[in-house]
Amino acid sequence: MIDSPRLASVVLLLATLTTGLQAGTYYIFACGVMPGLELGDDRTFVAAMQQFNVAFINPWFLATFLGAPALALIAVVTHRRTHPALWASVTAGFLLAMATVVITSVVHFPLNAALDAAGPPDRAPNLHAVREANATTWTRWNTARALTSTAALAALSYALLTTRTRNQN
């Protein structure tokens, strides 16, 4: 591994930025998208969620979804010889970013697959049952990943500010 303070700072900055993008994504779903969908009918909910599943499979989202924890892990390694509190903050950011990925993988991927398995909303036999089996759990766990990713952002931001302060002294 290259031992470069500049590289370590760049990696930490990129980890912080990608984590912030992830936190923002989950935040907007928690504060706007899901409450808005709750106001609609079953067909609208299922159709919108199915379209989100398609739209989110793109290089930009995947780069942040996978990049945030990967960059945070690299930041853990590149900061291993720094002040213990700084390293602990970077490590906390990584663990929280990983918690976000675990929540998505264990909870949201199966729920999204079940939504997709319902088929086209205009031909699905019982949209209300599909929605009921999905909406509350999906929303609750999205709030959890909004919190874990925001906490990861806070930890990485603290580390970034601490790095800057230590480098100025």
Give dist(CA 152, CA 162) in Å, integer: 15
- Each residue's pLDDT tens digit, 3-47: 688 899 999 999 999 999 999 999 999 999 999 999 999 999 999
For the chain, what is the domain count? Answer: 1
| Residue 130 lies in domain | 5-168
Query: What pTM, to 2 d.p., does this model score?
Result: 0.92
- Each residue's pLDDT tens digit, 41-91: 999 999 999 999 999 999 999 999 999 999 999 999 999 988 999 999 999
Residue type, 150: T
Enter the DSSP assignment of 83. Answer: -
Q: By C-alpha distance, which of 162, 152, 30 is closest to 91?
A: 152
Residue type, 158: Y
